[in-house]
């Protein structure tokens, strides 16, 4: 894969010296927020990773090349181009590379790039999962299968609350993906700390998470892990308000017959409108919170 993978000099040097590196996705830049807030957030998250003792590696596909680490100019270009850059998951990679095209990486494709580069930690907002109504639609994010087979740990605020969280947890359990509550006994619901779904495993320090990950991979167990890190309590949104907003956004999506990879960006944008921008503010805060934790875990992995 080396002919198709390029690591930024800063990332390549850190990997060669076995220093901590944290992967970051680019769908949140192209599809998750409006310009210029998307670029401001991406650069801010990179700075948080650096200030927390690790090297950021924002991932994307540019001109048919897998990129681990982007320049500020490349991030700016992605942010300005926005949704015109296609979302790229596992199935899209062969086409985009063979045609020399660009793509904004989802959780799944960011994990693939990270694993190829030798990066074990990835920070994002929330993973994809089993969509509401999936028993009829079979709409299940490719993120879940990626977690089952690709050795990268994903630090997130749980799964996006637009999803069926119970079925998402069942799916992860079926495929042997550890879901670790970071200083919590309950699966977070993205915008809120609690979902009502208890977790089997709670770990309270970056060192404990790093120790578990090292043992998992030393045993030869396939796949990654979910490190579920709740949004800070003072930044969480009212659960009732969010469930009402999600229900309204889902109804709008159904009315407009929006489905497939277009549905998540539509729902997030609609929820932002309904909440008067509060959901976007919470999204930014939880991504920053996850980046800090991922950097801490990456430091512990590098030190062991």
Contacts of 40 (CB under 8 A, 6+ apart): none
Active-site residue, 255 included: no
- Say if residue 148 is exposed, middle or buried (CB neighbours under 10 Å; 0-12, 13-18, 19+): middle
Active-site residue, 160 included: yes
Q: How far apart are CA 94 and CA 100, in angstroms?
A: 10
Cα–Cα–Cα angle for 190, 89, 66, rounded to 5 degrees: 115
Q: Which residue has the tokens 């076995």?
A: 18
The residue annotated as part of the active site, out of 25, 76, 146, 285, is 25
Q: How many CB atoms lie within 10 A of CB 142?
A: 17
Asked if residues 143 and 110 have their Cβ atoms less than 8 Å apart, the reply is no
DSSP 135-184: HHH--B-HHHHHHHHS--EEEESBB-TTB-HHHHHHHHHHTT--EEEES-
Asked if residues 103 and 87 have their Cβ atoms less than 8 Å apart, the reply is yes
The residue annotated as part of the active site, out of 67, 87, 160, 261, is 160
Helix ranges (H only) for 70-159 are: 72-81, 93-98, 107-117, 134-137, 142-149
Catalytic residue numbers read: 25, 160
């Amino acid at each position: 894969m080396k002919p198709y993978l390029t690591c930024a000099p800063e990332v390549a040097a850190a990997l060669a010296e076995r220093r901590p590196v944290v992967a970051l996705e680019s769908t949140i830049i192209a599809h998750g927020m409006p310009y210029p807030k998307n670029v401001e957030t991406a650069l801010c998250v990179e700075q948080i990773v650096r200030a927390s003792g690790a090297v950021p590696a924002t991932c994307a596909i540019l001109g048919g090349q897998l990129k681990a680490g982007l320049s500020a100019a490349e991030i700016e270009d992605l942010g300005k181009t926005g949704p015109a850059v296609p979302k790229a998951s596992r199935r899209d990679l062969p086409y985009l590379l063979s045609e020399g095209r660009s793509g904004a990486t989802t959780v799944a494709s960011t994990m693939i790039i990270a694993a190829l580069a030798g990066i074990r930690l990835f920070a994002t907002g929330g993973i994809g999962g089993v969509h509401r109504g999936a028993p009829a639609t079979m709409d299940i994010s490719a993120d879940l299968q990626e977690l089952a087979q690709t050795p990268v740990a994903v630090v997130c605020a749980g799964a996006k609350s637009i999803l069926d969280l119970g079925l998402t947890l069942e799916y992860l359990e079926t495929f042997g993906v550890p879901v670790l509550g970071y200083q919590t006994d309950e699966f977070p619901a993205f915008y809120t700390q609690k979902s009502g779904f208890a977790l089997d495993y709670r770990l309270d320090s970056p060192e404990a998470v790093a120790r578990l990950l090292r043992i998992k991979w030393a045993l030869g167990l396939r796949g990654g892990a979910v490190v579920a890190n709740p949004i800070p309590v003072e930044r969480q949104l009212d659960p009732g308000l969010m469930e009402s907003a999600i229900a309204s956004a889902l109804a709008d999506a159904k009315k407009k017959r929006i489905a497939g990879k277009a549905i998540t960006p539509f729902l997030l944008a609609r929820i932002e409108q309904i909440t008067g921008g509060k959901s976007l503010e919470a999204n930014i805060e939880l991504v920053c919170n996850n980046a800090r934790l991922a950097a801490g875990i990456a430091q512990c992995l590098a030190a062991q």
